A = this chain, B = another copy of it.
Amino acid sequence: MKTEERSPILGKQSVMPAKPVYLTESASVVGKKEGEGPLGNLFDVVGEDDLFGCKSWEDAESCLQQEALSCALKKAEWKQEDVRFLFAGDLLGQEIASSFGMEVFHRPLFGLYGACSTCALSLTLASLIIAGGFAERAACVTSSHFASAEKEFRFPLGYGNQRPLSATWTVTGSGAFLLSSCENAGRHRARAAITGLTPGKIVDFGLKDSMNMGACMAPAAADTIRQHLKDFGRRPEDYDKIITGDLGSVGQTVLLDLLEREGIDISGNHMDCGIEIYDSREQDTHAGGSGCGCSAVVLSAYILKMLEEGVWKRVLFAPTGALLSRTSFNEGQAVPGISHCIVLESMRTPEEGK
């Protein structure tokens, strides 16, 4: 990774830090259903039931965040005071899962909202603040919870409403990530290096179907990925995987189509966390998983593992968010999307990779 001489500002909307930021450690905590999915045995903690010993779904989501960050700190052998700044967000109104989840850590907190792109949003801002020399260590935490999200965006579970096949299933899970300016800030060498960032714009195609969020968000993913490749002067083949967060099977088709029209073919190396996390046929999750927790736990449990093992050398991580609320939906507004993307590289040298 020769990056020393490069300018930090790159192209229209990207940044390549002069020195990589290291993803020291991470942890994933998920619910029962996620534990039963294809990636089930890779998560750090799988809950026995989705209340995690709490009295409300919202509390349970806060608990997920706490568990995830505590677990990551423990794995890295960091004390909570080692975290200079905390970046956190979730899907609930006024981000109560994060506020009540993070307050016990007593660290300066930057609250973020990027819907299901929040994991990338938090990693982007934390990376920039570390790369700028304003912190040596920071932590990012994001979460979602199936039951709190249904209540927040659609119907309380008790209603037993039906869901169309284009709908996704909000992942119950939280991912926590410890970032550092130093390659060896944790107990082991960092899990991966963050070497590039392309924050995204809101893209609004005027779609209004909150039961088909993959299609609503795909244009934003296409926009940020296209701009990223342009800013970095790269082709899709320069990445082992180009990974979206929760487009699901319907959104994936839209994304591949949109990019193909611009002469960009990512069909060979596209992966979507929402498609990976469930066996949609067996688990009845329709188009796939969604939520900030989806991309976060798949990043922690699966993507970083593949980078760590050197199976993948470089991936583009591009979660997408659907910027709707119950109110905007009920008032007939469209569902705009946003996607932030991050370049993650393996720490393995070619020799180690052999």
Is A202 interfacial (CB 8 A cutoff)? yes
Q: State whether B199 touches A323 (Cβ < 8 A).
A: no
Is the interface on chain A under 10, 10 to 19, 20 to 34, or 35 or more residues?
35 or more
A113 within 8 A of B: yes
CB contacts (< 8 Å) of A328 on chain B: these are 58, 94, 96, 99-100
Q: Considering the chains assembled together, what is the distance between the CA atoms of A56 and B328 in angstroms?
A: 10
Does A93 belong to the interface (CB within 8 Å)? yes
* A103 with B336: CB separation less than 8 A: yes
How far, in angstroms, from A107 to B227 measured CA to CA in the complex? 12
- Verify if A15 is at the interface (C-beta below 8 Å from B): yes
Interchain CA distance A15-B336 in the complex, whole Å? 35
Chain A 102-129 interface mask (CB, 8 Å, partner B; 1/0): 1100111111111100000100110011
Interface contact A93-B96, CB-CB below 8 Å: no
Q: Across the interface, do B9 and A92 meet the contact criterion of CB distance under 8 Å? A: no
Contact indicator B331/A56 (Cβ below 8 Å): yes
Contact with B along A159-192 (1 / 0, CB 8 A): 0000000000000000000000000000000000
Of A8, A15, A89, the most chain B CB neighbours within 10 A belong to A15
A338 x B109 contact (CB < 8 A): yes
Q: Does A42 contact B (CB under 8 A)?
A: no
| Nearest chain B CB to A129 CB, angstrom units | 5
Known contacts A100-B328, A128-B128; A115 and B134 CB within 8 A of each other: no
Cβ of A128: which chain B residues have Cβ within 8 Å of it? 128-129, 132, 134
Set of chain B residues within 8 Å of A269, measured between Cβ atoms: none
Asked whether, in the complex, the Cβ of B58 is within 8 Å of the Cβ of A204, the reply is no
Q: Give the docked Cα–Cα distance between A26 and B91 (Å).
A: 30
Contacts of A135 in B (CB 8 A): 9
Contact (A96, B9) CB under 8 Å given A112-B113, A134-B15? no
A152 near B: Cβ within 8 Å? yes
Q: How far is the CA of A103 from the CA of B56 in the complex (A)?
A: 34
A194 nearest CB across to chain B (Å): 13
Contacts of A132 in B (CB 8 A): 8, 128-129, 131-134
Contacting B at CB under 8 A, from A44-99, are: 56, 58-59, 84-85, 89, 91-96, 99
Provide the bound-state CA to CA distance between A204 and B85, in Å: 18
Inter-subunit contact B338/A202 (CB<8 Å): no
**Residues of A in contact with B (beta carbons under 8 Å apart):** 8-9, 13, 15, 56, 58-59, 84-85, 89, 91-96, 99-100, 102-103, 106-115, 121, 124-125, 128-129, 131-136, 152, 198-202, 204, 323-328, 331, 333, 336, 338
**11 A-B residue contacts at CB 8 Å?**
A85-B199, A94-B115, A96-B324, A103-B202, A108-B199, A109-B338, A110-B114, A110-B199, A111-B323, A112-B112, A128-B129
